[in-house]
A = this chain, B = another copy of it.
């Protein structure tokens, strides 16, 4: 991958047209880059603010090659891009974050195995292929655990919480032959995410850890900074640096962790900007979206220092109808994603409330 920085006026290609792509496109604009979106949807949130859009399926290799030919670097806003598609892009243009990071994060078993091999704590986990392996796993985890599909799960989808009374045959029916992983339950005090960036030269830059509260398995609120001891903050930095280096990572990497009495346990990683990092764009000199664009473009990483403390609240579904009252709040920034339909649970926007640092 080239280490020569892209110049203003060159074009960033983004695979995916949702709100993450939209906010990356806006960051491209601030830095003087053009932005070309690739997504199957017409009038996607990202397309509304991009210079160009290629509207095609994620497995349309010819369209992907044509798209790559028109841009100077390719990035993406989600991790479930087919391997063949990434290969088609990579053969033509630099792709960041690297394919290896995508591959690891696409599969929960690969992910946990990779992280654990680095000496970083994760929940105990077991490869589940049938009822025998599921029963064997549960025997190890004391009869409780979470069964998750290895691929394509998000926001609690493809997950089953299991206990001694669970009907395992029924759960395996619902799983319908998908490869799965059983994870032991983690007794955690809170959830904290680490948003970190790594550039071409291997420099790693972290935002202060962010504390998250989920509702119905969907992120509800994030707070910057997390209440974290000095020791745990140091552990967080070390985890972030270890993971980013091991993945030979370029771009923004999100790491979700549990705070436990035994320290931080990594839950999962996302090779992209992350919902819990949205508040950085309002609270820091350089937010995660700009940081990602800087990293993949070979620019110097931006300043992650926060000028304000921040509380981010997601606007899901009809929450967005309260835009006018949010807009009237002092020290509050409103971000809406340009989505036409407010389906239940759909991420329609977010608000960030700023306050003076403590």
Q: Which A residues form the contact surface with B (CB < 8 A)?
A: 5, 8-9, 22, 25-26, 29-34, 48-51, 285-286, 294, 299-300, 302-303, 305, 307-308, 320, 323-324, 327-328, 330-338, 340, 349, 354, 356
Contact = CB atoms under 8 A, between A and B. Distances in A.
Contacts of A349: 8, 32
A336 B294 contact: no
A330 B337 CA distance: 29
A340 B304 CA distance: 30
Given A29-B22, A334-B31, A307 B305 contact: no
Contacts of A29: 22, 26, 48-49, 338
Contacts of A48: 29, 34, 51
Q: Oligomeric state, in number of copies?
A: 2
A327 B302 contact: yes
Contact of A5 (B26, B324, B338): B324
A34 B13 CA distance: 21
A285 B354 contact: yes
Contact of A26 (B9, B30, B51): B30
15 contacts: A9-B338, A29-B48, A30-B335, A31-B327, A32-B336, A34-B338, A285-B330, A285-B331, A286-B333, A300-B327, A303-B330, A303-B332, A305-B331, A307-B308, A307-B356
A307 B8 contact: no
Contacts of A299: 324, 327
Contacts of A32: 323, 336-338, 349
A269 B327 CA distance: 28
Contacts of A323: 8, 32
Contacts of A320: 8
A203 to B, nearest CB: 11
Given A8-B320, A48-B51, A324-B299, A30 B336 contact: yes
A336 B285 contact: no
- Candidate in A34, A299, A336 with the most chain B CB atoms within 10 angstroms: A336
A330 B327 CA distance: 30
